[in-house]
Structure 1
Amino acid sequence: MSSQERILIIFIRLLQGNKLSKIDLMEEFHKNGSTIQRDIAIIDELLHKLNSSLPASKFSPFKNLGELDRSHRGYYQLTDFSQSSYMDDYELFMIFKVLFASRGFHENELKTIYYKLFANVSNQYTMDRLLSNERFYYEGVPKQDLYPTIKLLLNAMLNQQKVEFSYTKNGETKIFKRVPMDIYFSDLYFFMISAKHTTKDDTDFDALNKFRINNMTHITILNEHESVEYANRFQGGVLRNQTALPFFGEPITLVIDFFYEPAYVLDRFPNSVIKRVNSDGSHRIEIPANNGYGVKMWLLEQGAHVKVISPKYIQNYLIDNMKKTLSYYDISINEEKPNLSQ
């Protein structure tokens, strides 16, 4: 083995995040300590040249490799590079938990992603023991792999091409032609988005602009291009902060009194603000939200924990729905004026 090959092997191992021992390198390559030290010095010089030649911009796609860490005598490691480039077992554990909780992947797809990530786990026995229950009982919502469809839609989106597809909703199937603007994930599903996040949502099947990808079939990319103006772009980050569920809507300021732990609201709507604590112990909370069905569903889920102050039409929506729900149990609400004589 030539010296160039030896140095390259050592350098690659350092880039892989390995902590190298001088003694182990001496034994492996049958070289004395001074030779290994010269190899490390050459790598050190190379790192300095590479790092100094990188663009200064923080948005540069090139990663600074850092310097060799010699804090442990007789050992060498690219500590800074490893920490910024490779996930440790704790970070991987968090990602696994989110993947299982999403239920957004077909079982075969989840297995593929799981084992690709699992190959990077250091203590695989412990990790497998921690995740075995959720892995065994995982039930994904999609009935088939989404990867081929998402790949096709992303290519169409990047090229601003229309796609034609069949879509089924509430037992009805129609043919659509749309330009994909984004792929959005929320509440179990991946969606193909083809309109701005403030458009009307789910009111007219023919005008639909949000499609569950697992319900799309016979997808074909058409040789039709259509650009989207910047002002009309879909903003998934804005939508996620405005609603609890994936429904479009116009921005509103929702004011509620919340009769439970306010963190539940503040965490769900990250831009919400507690305006005051009421005399009954409830919290008056102001929420930058939208007026879509997702916010209305969330409010209905809160039951007696919430009172809508404004907008009035949202308040009326809740009242009408609660009356309808009570009618299912043969309970009617008579809006009689209170008897003030008693």
Structure 2
Amino acid sequence: MNSQERLLTIFLRLQAGERLSKARLSTEFGVDPKSIQRDISRLKGTLEEKSHLGLEIVFDSLDNTYRLIGKTIFNKKDILVISKILLENRALNKSELYSLLEGLLALLSIEEKKEVFSIISSERFRYKSLTNDRDRIDTIWNLSEAIRRERMLEIEYKAPLKDAKSHIIFPVSLYYDAHYFYLVAYHLKHGKHTTFRVDRIENLSESHVKKPEIPHKFKYRDGEVRNQKVDAFEGEKINVKLRYTGIPEIVFDKFPNHEIISCDKGDMIVRIETQDTPGLKRWILGQEDEITVLDPQSLADSIQNSLEKMLKNYKK
């Protein structure tokens, strides 16, 4: 085997994910260790010149091996934070989560990988996925591609306590909210945007139905809508005036589009821009006596009615 063939063999083995030591390669190829060192240096130099490939050969001093990695701006601290978020939100089933964590940890050296793994090992071992543990990653990618390419879809969707039903939709937005991924799509039959929970989509395929012509003023704008919503579902835009006596950040972080009307020693009046959905009432009720709805009166009446019904559940 000549030097060019040896270079190619080493690169292909690195690309396959092998960790290679200089001593082992020297024995296998029957050459001096200095020759292997020159081979590695040549490969590293070539990859540095071809920076667009995003590949790098790194050396792990822990076991004296070389490996090929994709260049990343992530360090061990970044990967620890991302891993913690993944473990906490429980959005993926155990198989997908483990695979994703392994992919993240593979970006680190052996020593750094052990450090991060030791921190998350208990949470990883005790990880419990959601009741519906269907695979999500491939579905999320396919839906994202349909949105990017502006493709019509036919989906089989199983709503709670109902049989699966077919829908022809034009997908426009995909997002995550409190454990679940959601798809927003223009529903041809209903003539409006509808929200679907991704893990309840049993099948999806491209539809050849003509794409709808949606007027510009009715187009779905992800960022704007996400700053208004309390939950995953669609509702009418609403401005709510509140008196709040709790920690201000709870309101500010939940509703980025807020306006402080007055604030005096823990008694704050604020106006929020949101959407009228069931999640709005649930959030308000969850603040207990620290929040009072001042306007609109219809929302205040609805909150009072809910509280009276709740109180009856506790009266003997």
TM-score of the superposition, structure 1-length normalised? 0.67
Contact 2:153–2:204 at 8 Å: present in 1 too? no
Q: Which has the larger Rg? A: 1
CA deviation vs aligned residue, 1:240-287 (integer Å, no higher than 9, x gap): 2112221222322222111211111111222323332246x3211222
CA offset at residue 160 of structure 1?
1.9
Report the AA paired with residue 177 of structure 2: S
Paired with 1:277 and 1:63, the residues of 2 have a C-alpha distance of 55
Q: 1:251 aligns with which of 237, 255, 259?
A: 237
Paired with 1:218 and 1:177, the residues of 2 have a C-alpha distance of 12
Which aligned pairs between 1:26-41 and structure 2 lie closer than 5 A?
28=34
Query: What's 2:127 paired with?
Result: 138
Q: 1:93 aligns with which of 80, 85, 101?
A: 80
Report the AA paired with residue 242 of structure 2: I
Report the AA paired with residue 138 of structure 1: Y
The gaps in structure 2 that reach 5 residues or longer are 15-32, 55-70
Query: What's 2:270 paired with?
Result: 285
Q: 1:182 aligns with which of 165, 173, 178?
A: 173
When you count strand as a share of all residues, which structure comes out higher? 2
Classify 1:260/1:31 alpha carbon distance in 2 versus 1 (closer, same or farther; 3 Å).
Answer: closer
SS in 1 for 2:235: coil
CA offset at residue 218 of structure 1?
3.4
Which aligned pairs between 1:7-86 and structure 2 lie closer than 5 A?
28=34, 85-86=72-73
Classify 1:31/1:263 alpha carbon distance in 2 versus 1 (closer, same or farther; 3 Å).
Answer: closer
CA offset at residue 30 of structure 1?
8.7
SS in 2 for 1:169: coil
Q: 1:149 aligns with which of 136, 139, 143?
A: 139
Q: 2:208 aligns with which of 211, 223, 244?
A: 223
CA offset at residue 314 of structure 1?
1.5
Paired with 1:257 and 1:248, the residues of 2 have a C-alpha distance of 25
Classify 1:190/1:31 alpha carbon distance in 2 versus 1 (closer, same or farther; 3 Å).
Answer: closer
Query: What's 2:197 paired with?
Result: 212
Paired with 1:241 and 1:265, the residues of 2 have a C-alpha distance of 12
Paired with 2:114 and 2:203, the residues of 1 have a C-alpha distance of 43
TM-score of the superposition, structure 2-length normalised? 0.72
Report the AA paired with residue 106 of structure 1: N
Report the AA paired with residue 224 of structure 1: V
CA offset at residue 237 of structure 1?
2.0
Contact 1:164–1:177 at 8 Å: present in 2 too? yes
Paired with 2:295 and 2:240, the residues of 1 have a C-alpha distance of 6
Paired with 1:323 and 1:208, the residues of 2 have a C-alpha distance of 33
The gaps in structure 1 that reach 5 residues or longer are 13-26, 52-61, 65-81, 197-204, 332-342
SS in 2 for 1:168: coil
Report the AA paired with residue 262 of structure 1: P
Paired with 1:239 and 1:155, the residues of 2 have a C-alpha distance of 21
RMSD of aligned Cα (Å): 3.7
Query: What's 1:117 paired with?
Result: 104
SS in 2 for 1:179: strand
> Does residue 154 of structure 2 align to residue 163 of structure 1?
yes
Classify 1:289/1:63 alpha carbon distance in 2 versus 1 (closer, same or farther; 3 Å).
Answer: farther
Paired with 1:277 and 1:307, the residues of 2 have a C-alpha distance of 15
Query: What's 1:200 paired with?
Result: none
Query: What's 1:127 paired with?
Result: 116
CA offset at residue 144 of structure 1?
1.7
Contact 2:184–2:194 at 8 Å: present in 1 too? yes
> Does residue 315 of structure 2 align to residue 330 of structure 1?
yes
Classify 1:267/1:208 alpha carbon distance in 2 versus 1 (closer, same or farther; 3 Å).
Answer: closer
Contact 2:156–2:201 at 8 Å: present in 1 too? yes
Classify 1:30/1:103 alpha carbon distance in 2 versus 1 (closer, same or farther; 3 Å).
Answer: closer
User: How many aligned positions are there?
Assistant: 270
Task: Give the 4+ runs in structure 1 shifted more than 4 A.
Answer: 27-32, 205-208
CA offset at residue 227 of structure 1?
4.1
Query: What's 1:334 paired with?
Result: none
